[in-house]
Amino acid sequence: MSDYGTKKPRDTSSEMAQTVMSSDTEAHIINAPSAYRTFLGAIREPMAEFFGVALLVIFGAGAGASVVTAGNQGVSSSPKGDFLSINFGWAVGLAIGVWVSAGISGGHINPAITLAMATWRKFPWYKVPGFIIAQFLGGLVGAGLIYGLYFRAIDIFEGPGVRTLATAGIFATFPMSYMTSVAAFFTEFLATAILCFTILALTDKRNTAKPAPGLLPMALFVLFLGIGVSLGTTGWALNPARDFGPRVFLAMAGYGKALFTTRSQYWLWGPIIAPILGAQSGAFLYDVFLYTEQGVLNPTGGQ
């Protein structure tokens, strides 16, 4: 017997299940923005540091790759810049990186600066590990992107599959061959001390000559360009993440153990330890002689 046209009994259990599923879905959709905002609140500052360092390395290493590889006729029939061009690339990268991150994370984009701010400016210590990891990863990713873009040029410059310190210096830092270890260490120490000292001056509320917040990156551009031209004999790391992130990537890309054994493990005491100590010393000097706000050396503040 056909049931065409007959009325079937209602399946109330199915309707109830659909209602429950619909309610759960609606609740999930309603709560999604709140969950996303919570997630964004947790990662926003470290991600600003990540992108800031990535941009720093993209512009800096990109300028270096353009200049260095153009020295081979197979890459370019004429030179594509010089030492000053590389300085401009890193200075532009610093300015852009700070412009992107300053309003979100403070624009440290440098573990040495993050540690100095935690020590001398009450930056929360619990944020320090996340910032440093993000900065390191930004350096690694930035180097990876430039390496990928210039892979063919590096092959022409070095030879297919050959990877030496001749192009490693595009991404990581190495002192000039004539420099003693003491001179190399002190150069990084002094340059980073000047960097941190000046950053504190540029952000000191009582410094009437400080730039407007939006112009701080431009002041840092001038500062970094000056440091590079004057104290560039070590490749001017001044920033452990800017050196160590790319150096790790180079190890992954097949550059070999020379990255870590050259000049008695220069990678550790040159671009990591020296900048960290230099930033602390620069902050100490500024607070001892110029800073009048409340701080580590002046707990109550005052004139």
Q: Give tens-digit pLDDT for 43-70.
A: 999 999 999 999 999 999 999 999 999 9
pLDDT at 25 over 70: no
How sure is the predictor about 2, in pLDDT bands with cuts at 50, 70 and 90? Answer: very low
User: 8 pLDDT exceeds 70?
Assistant: no
Which three-class secondary structure state does DSSP give residue 10?
Answer: coil
Question: Taking residues 93-99, what's their average pLDDT?
Answer: 98
- 295 by DSSP, 3-state: which? strand
Six-digit token pair at 114?
A: 């993050």
Amino acid at 132: I
Any idea where the domains of the chain sit in the sequence?
Answer: 43-290
For the chain, what is the radius of gyration of the CA atoms? Answer: 26
Q: How much is the average pLDDT of 210-228? A: 95
Q: Is the pLDDT of residue 288 over 90?
A: yes
pLDDT confidence band for 76 (50 / 70 / 90): very high
Pair 192, 274: CB distance under 8 Å: yes
Residue 125 has pLDDT above 50, yes or no: yes
* Architecture of the domain made up of 43-290: Up-down Bundle (1.20)
Give the separation between CA 190 and CA 200, rounded to whole angstroms: 15
CA 10, 14, 20, 21 dihedral sign is negative
136-148: average pLDDT: 98
The average pLDDT across 76-86 equals: 93
Interval 125-147 mean pLDDT: 98
Q: Using a pLDDT cut of 90, give the percent of the chain over it.
A: 83
Token digits for 195? 């960097």
116 pLDDT above the threshold of 50? yes
